[in-house]
Amino acid sequence: WSSDVCSSDLWTVLLLLVISGFLNYFDRSNLSAGATDIQRELALNPYQLGLLLGAFFWTYALMQLLGIAGWLVDRFNVCWILAAGFLLWSAATAITGIAQVFAMVFALRLLLGLGESIAYPSYSRILANNFPEHHRGFANALIDAGTKTGPALGTLLGGLLMARYGWRAFFIALGFSSLL
C-alpha cells in the first residue's frame, strides 16, 4: 500500500485486518477440533496425527525465524503479499476437506503455515505505513484481539459444526468462506 490508503477509510482497512487475523488463527486451530474424526477416517496412527498437528508450525516458524516473511513484505507490495498468503491459507484449508491421504493433508498443513506466516509482518507494515502513530497501538490491539478470538471461537464453533456436518464440510466451507 502507498499513502493513498491514508485518504481512504482506515477504519474499514482496520476491520478487514482484524477479520484477517481472526480467520488466520481460526484456521490453525481447526485441525485439533477434528483430529479424532480425521484420524479415524484417514486411518492415521498417533505418530501421523502428531505430524499433522505440528506441520503448520514447522513452515510458520521457519518463515518467521529466517525472516523470509518479513523480507517479502519489505521487498514487495504488502497488499499482494498479504493477498497471496490469504489465498494460500484459505485454499489449503478448503482443499484439506477433500484430501484423501495423509501425505496430502500433511502438505496442505505445511502450505497453511507458509500462507499464515505472512499475516503479522503484513499487519505491522500496513499499520506503520498507513496509520498515524497515535492510532497504531489501538489498531494493533484490535488485530491482536482478533487473533485471540479466532482460536477460541474456532475450537468452539469448529467442534460444534464438525459434529453436525463433518470435518470435511467444515474445512471446505471455512476455506471458501474465508476467500469472501
pLDDT in tens, 20-37: 999 999 988 889 999 999
Q: Pick from 94, 87, 88: which is nearest to 114 by CA?
A: 88
- pLDDT tens sequence across 45-99: 999 999 999 999 999 999 999 999 999 999 999 999 999 999 999 999 999 999 9
Three-state DSSP at 132 gives coil
Residue type, 112: L
Percent of the chain with pLDDT over 90: 86
Q: Which residues contact 69 (CB under 8 A, 6 or more apart)?
A: 63, 117, 118, 120, 121
DSSP H or E segment with residue 30: helix 10-33
- pTM equals 0.90
- pLDDT tens sequence across 142-158: 999 999 999 999 889 99
Residue type, 66: L
Q: Decide: 167 and 97 in contact? Cβ < 8 Å.
A: yes
Residue with cell 484456521: 27
| pLDDT at res. 4 | 46
pLDDT at 125 over 50: yes
